[in-house]
Every structure is written in structure tokens, then in C-alpha cells.
Amino acid sequence: MKFTLQYPMPHPPAPGFLDPSTILDVARAAEAAGFHGIAFTEHPAPSDKWLKAGGHEAFDPLIALTYCAAVTERLRLMPFLLVLPYHQPFLIAKSVASVDVLSSGRMTVIGGTGYLRSEFSALGVDFDERNALLEESITTMRGVWSTDALEVAGAGFQARGVTARPRPVQQPGPPIWLGGNSKLTRRRVATLVDGWSPNMYDARMAATTRTATLETVDDVAAAIAEIRALRDEAGRDDSFDVQLNGPHGRQPPAPTEVAEHIDLLGRLSAVGVTWTVINPPHDDVAAALDMIAAYGLDVISKVAP
């Protein structure tokens, strides 16, 4: 099992979490504690209504990740998640490649279709085209990262003989995982990308985020088994990652709950989960840093490879 720390940015965030020095402190603390990755969300134009109803604030994730890359050596850099339909494919391919080069090959793209209609409207992107735009973005990015004189046409663009350098350190490109719980997402994980990053959601949260429910370990196991079967059908016998954002990580364990927490992580690992997302306290910077260090000692040191 590997561990990703999600940087805390609720609405409104505690003032300290907007301090540039705090971002660096959290990144350094995560690496020192044994975390394997750090993640930032993306919401460039959320509605005020969504924020007031429990939404969260966000930096530009690629800028924040590049900032963290400068003070770390090992952490994987993960936008969790990058709403690919929001971005022109060549521009996002360039940004991702730049982060990968500047971090010596530590970028992992976690993409998704997005779900906020108001945000699509603010950005001038057709909400109903988001699935086609997602797939177009993935295939175009991979072409940009690995092909000279690329010829490709898409929604609103025509590329003739494009050679984009520098290429990413990771070849043929950084791994791409997809967030989302839907059956369509699972099919894409089976046929198109390198990993899956679902959220454990009950019916209420699933409806809010326009995705499928995923409530229990058995639900997770069945979904992973489905992806494996679909990958076999597609002739893909390579391994794939599953990064789970679940209730176990949204409220890290109290000292008396550590053994139960480790047991749950073992059950998830047994069904095919390879990464998990941990959310530190978001109301106090010192508490977040203390939790990161304690989690490294109490959990990561005992279960990480």
C-alpha cells in the first residue's frame, strides 16, 4: 500500500494553509513521514452556491505541485483530480510535461470529466461533451508526449506536424489514472489508462458528484474484479494502480483506532487497492503537521512496502 496526502483546502480554509511556507512545510513533512505522493484538487471557477454548500477551495494544482517539487525528492505529484475537459489538450500536455521534467519524472496525471455544470459554463466548455473531450485529451496528450510531427484533429483544433519539446522524463509519458466511480470510468481504466482513483461515496454524495455509489470493501473488490476482467478481454495483462479515497482517510485514526485502521488497509490491499488518500486536519496547521508525522510512525512505517 502507498499513501497520498491531500492538501487541505476547505471553504474557508484556515488562514495558515494559504501561506506559501505552509505548503512547503506540509510537502516536506509528508516526504519525511513516508508518504508516497501529494495531491491538490482543481476547481478554477466554482460557484458561490457550491462553495457555501460544502465545496472546497483550490490552487491551480500544477502550479502548486511544481512548488512542492522544488523542496522534495521522492513524492509523486498528483492533481486529484485534473478536469481534463476544461483544458485545451496541447496546453495541458505542455504543462504536465513541464512538471514532469522539473520534478525529474514524478508526475502522475489523475484526470476526470468533472461534474459542476456552472463551472463548465464559466469556462465556456460544453458539459454534454465532457466524455468525448476527456478521451480526446488523453489520446492527444499521449501523442504530444511521444510523437514528432504529430498530426491530430479534435474539437476546435487541427494540429499539423506538431513537435512539442521537451518531452516528459517518463516515457512514453506520465501515468494517467482516472477518477470517478462510474461503469464508463471503469471501462476506460480497462482500455485506455493506467489506473483508477475512485471515491467511496454513499448515495447522497454520489448524487452530488454525478457518479456511482461505492460504499463498502465488497463494492471496491467487485469493481476492481470487473476492471481486471475487462482488461483481460482487451488483451492488457499489465498491472494497474487503484488509489482509493475512502472514509478511512478522510478522518485519520485516533491512537486507539490505529490497529483497526491498519486492518482495514490490509483488507483493501488484499482486493487490489495499491494507494490510498489521507486527508489531514484542515482547521489548524500545527495539528496537520503533527498528524502527518504521527501517521507516518503509526501506520505507514508498518504497512508501506
Interval 143-177: pLDDT, tens: 999 999 999 999 999 999 999 999 999 999 999 99
**pLDDT value at position 212?**
72
Number of other residues whose CB lies within 10 A of the CB of residue 143: 20
Q: Are strands 275-278 and 2-6 parallel, antiparallel or unpaired?
A: parallel
CB 187 within 8 A of CB 122: no
Q: Which 3 state secondary structure label does DSSP give 179?
A: strand
Give this prediction's pTM.
Answer: 0.95
Where residue 188 falls among pLDDT bands split at 50, 70, 90?
Answer: very high
42 in Cβ contact with 79 (< 8 Å): yes
What is the pLDDT confidence band of residue 252, given thresholds at 50, 70 and 90? Answer: confident
